[in-house]
Amino acid sequence: MATYLDRILEVHRGAAAADVRPLEELLRCALGQPPARGFRAALERSAADGSLAVIAEIKRRSPSKGALNTELDPVAMAARYEAGGAAALSVLTDEEFFGGSASDLVRARRAVDVPVLRKDFTVSVRDICDARIMGADAVLLIAAALQPGELRDLHGCAIEIGLDVLVEVHDEAELAVAESAGASLIGVNQRDLVTFKVDHERARRMAGVIPESAVRVAESGVRDAQDAIRLRDAGYHAVLVGESVVTAADPASAIRALTGGN
């Protein structure tokens, strides 16, 4: 029986196999983009005083929850997130499963000064180039979606063209693969990508085995300030939050609560 992840990867790998755009031209275009804003550096600055950096996500829907905010305006939402103190944004660009687009990322980034992560199921070098060309400052690589060699090669390519890389893991085995690929920005996703269920203790269990030198990000299932405090106290520098802020009546206030602001 196919899982959520199987179906999503089948679509993305199929698209990658059909993509015949000249790779050398894409790489030249990616290398010619203006300097990125520094995603990792923004998280480090925000967390320097012991507070928690928030990566606020622009997301219309998800396979597990269905519609979240289908009428979302990425420009208005990005501005609200920045006003609330978000250190960075995450923008879903997957269209079929999450209702996102490259246009969402372009428009959101133009509306703010904070760096932006392209959140998608990245499976090829062309995906990496596209992220840089559309203006992303960082790209997500999911250890569960890639072979170790793929993760290493895509990580290296992203760094070479000027992107920061958030490598997402779920357990110790995936963390070891991320470390061997050179990851220094590591996210622990509390959502199981096979069942899409959330384990609220996963990040706390994993916190102790992530290298001290890494910037640590807890992803998914962050519901409120209490969750954020527990994750900060466990050793995380940042949280990536989607559902609870994208559906909030006042997204700026929701983010201030997560950061500990008023």
* Catalytic annotation, pick one of 82, 174, 219, 243: 219
149-199 tens-digit pLDDT: 999 999 999 999 999 999 999 999 999 999 999 999 999 998 877 777 888
* Catalytic annotation, pick one of 46, 57, 62, 174: 57
- What secondary structure, in 3-state letters, does the chain show? CCCHHHHHHHHHHHHHHHCCCCHHHHHHHHHCCCCCCCHHHHHHHHCCCCCCEEEEEECCEECCCEECCCCCCHHHHHHHHHHCCCCEEEEECCCCCCCCCHHHHHHHHHCCCCCEEEECCCCCHHHHHHHHHCCCCEEEEEHHHCCHHHHHHHHHHHHHCCCEEEEEECCHHHHHHHHHCCCCEEEEECECCCCCCECCCHHHHHHCCCCCCCEEEEECCCCCHHHHHHHHHHCCCEEEECHHHHCCCCHHHHHHHHHCCC
96-127 tens-digit pLDDT: 999 999 999 999 999 999 999 999 999 999 99
| CATH number of this structure's domain 4-259, picked from the four choices 3.40.50.2300, 3.10.20.30, 3.20.20.70, 3.30.420.40 | 3.20.20.70
User: Is 174 annotated as catalytic?
Assistant: no
User: Is 57 annotated as catalytic?
Assistant: yes
Q: What is the pLDDT of residue 94?
A: 96
Reported pTM: 0.94
User: Is 168 annotated as catalytic?
Assistant: yes
User: Is 65 annotated as catalytic?
Assistant: no
User: Is 119 annotated as catalytic?
Assistant: yes
Q: Is the pLDDT of residue 1 over 60?
A: no
* Catalytic annotation, pick one of 119, 124, 174, 244: 119
* Catalytic annotation, pick one of 46, 90, 220, 244: 220
* Catalytic annotation, pick one of 59, 69, 124, 174: 59
Report the pLDDT averaged over residues 230-244. Answer: 93
Q: What is the pLDDT of residue 162?
A: 97
